[in-house]
């Protein structure tokens, strides 16, 4: 385990629960962020997704502003902005604005995937595949627009120049590990759903890392699914909502987050399915004692500098309680 304190953060998709309005969903996201701030969380990130009725973080930069406005100290950002969906100039202007409104509190995590299906990606941007292949260059454009050295260029994002908005490279394979290392940027791996290449990607990133003005040494953020309750049984019950959501992903029948039910043998069988089991490999579900042991093992194996928790729970009070218990675990493990 690292000798430095290990940061802990939240990755949110602003999931829409059955029977909840979008306004209630956004209010709940803010409520969770406010509690996370009091629990010592480092950052609250929102992930860009499209064309999914159970995900409300579509207009990511707008929602980041809403969360930042309602909090005081916690960092707020994107986990991430799917850059091939956008013009780098527009993203620089949006996050330059956010960085000026909320100084030293805004993060810009950048990913290469579309965050949606192929048809929707093409509807967002007809040349999406070309932009995806140009991801390294698109990241460089973002860096240029934030640089004060761009002030003499014909094309400028004047509102972003000199504004402190750190960049993070997101990845679910080794491709982005090479890029993050080359640019000397922090690297966030989506191990909460893409588990296969976690260790290879981390090793690649650390081995190839080149110090930069932004970062002297490698910095790894690892995503984990966290569901904590008072007992293992209570946590397993809460996790039934996650299992049904995963089934919706595999079957193409995405629906709003369903209320939890008792854990049945059928649901346990789904968890044992090889694909589901692999996808949820780094899902820590149980009481505080149970999850603490799992988290410690994960940290010992990865030596991650930061954990970013994804918690797919139906009701906000249970999510907040899970976040509180996870904060206690991370504090105790320091």
The domain limits of the chain are 7-332
The reported pLDDT for the residue numbered 197 is: 95
Is the CA virtual torsion 129, 134, 135, 139 positive or negative?
A: negative
- Compute the 3-state secondary structure of the chain and give helix, strand, coil in percent, each to the nearest 5: 45, 15, 35
The reported pLDDT for the residue numbered 114 is: 80
The reported pLDDT for the residue numbered 323 is: 98
Percent of the chain with pLDDT over 70: 99
Assigned CATH for 7-332: 3.20.20.30
The reported pLDDT for the residue numbered 1 is: 41
The reported pLDDT for the residue numbered 3 is: 63
- The 10s digit of each residue's pLDDT in 198-209 is 999 999 999 999
Find the range with the poorest average confidence among 45-59, 113-127, 262-276, 300-314: 113-127
- The 10s digit of each residue's pLDDT in 126-174 is 787 888 889 999 999 999 999 999 999 999 999 999 999 999 999 999 9
CB atoms under 10 Å from CB of 166, counted, come to 17
Q: pTM of this prediction?
A: 0.96
- The 10s digit of each residue's pLDDT in 89-109 is 999 999 999 999 999 999 999
C-alpha distance across the termini of the chain, in Å: 9
The average pLDDT across 228-236 equals 98
């Amino acid at each position: 385990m690292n000798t430095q304190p290990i940061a802990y953060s939240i990755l949110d998709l602003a999931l829409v629960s059955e029977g909840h309005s979008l306004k209630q969903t956004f209010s709940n996201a803010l409520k969770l962020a406010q509690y996370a701030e009091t629990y010592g969380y480092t950052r609250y990130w929102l992930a860009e997704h499209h064309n999914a009725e159970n995900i409300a973080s579509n207009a990511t930069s707008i929602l980041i502003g809403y969360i930042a406005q309602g909090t005081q100290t916690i960092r707020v950002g994107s986990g991430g902005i799917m850059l091939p969906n956008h013009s780098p100039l527009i993203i620089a202007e949006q996050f330059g604005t956010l960085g000026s409104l909320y100084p030293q509190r805004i993060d810009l995590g950048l990913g290469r995937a579309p965050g949606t299906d192929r048809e929707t990606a093409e509807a967002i941007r007809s040349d999406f595949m070309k932009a995806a292949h140009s991801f390294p260059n698109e990241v460089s454009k973002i860096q240029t627009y934030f640089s004060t050295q761009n002030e003499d260029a014909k094309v400028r994002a004047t509102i972003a120049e000199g504004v402190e908005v750190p960049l993070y490279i997101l990845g679910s394979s080794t491709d982005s590990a090479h890029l993050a290392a080359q640019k000397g940027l922090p690297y966030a791996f989506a191990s909460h759903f893409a588990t296969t290449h976690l260790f290879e990607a981390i090793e690649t990133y650390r081995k190839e890392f080149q110090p930069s003005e932004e970062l002297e040494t490698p910095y790894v953020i690892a995503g984990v699914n966290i569901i904590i309750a008072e007992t293992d049984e209570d946590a397993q019950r809460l996790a039934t909502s996650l299992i049904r959501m995963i089934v919706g992903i595999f079957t193409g029948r995405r629906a709003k987050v369903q209320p939890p039910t008792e854990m049945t043998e059928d649901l346990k069988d789904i968890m044992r399915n090889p694909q589901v089991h692999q996808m949820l490999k780094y899902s820590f579900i149980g009481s505080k004692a149970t999850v603490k042991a799992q988290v410690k093992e994960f940290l010992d194996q990865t030596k991650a500098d930061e954990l970013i928790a994804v918690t797919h729970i139906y009701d906000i009070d249970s999510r907040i309680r899970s976040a509180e218990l996870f904060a206690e675990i991370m504090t105790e493990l320091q």
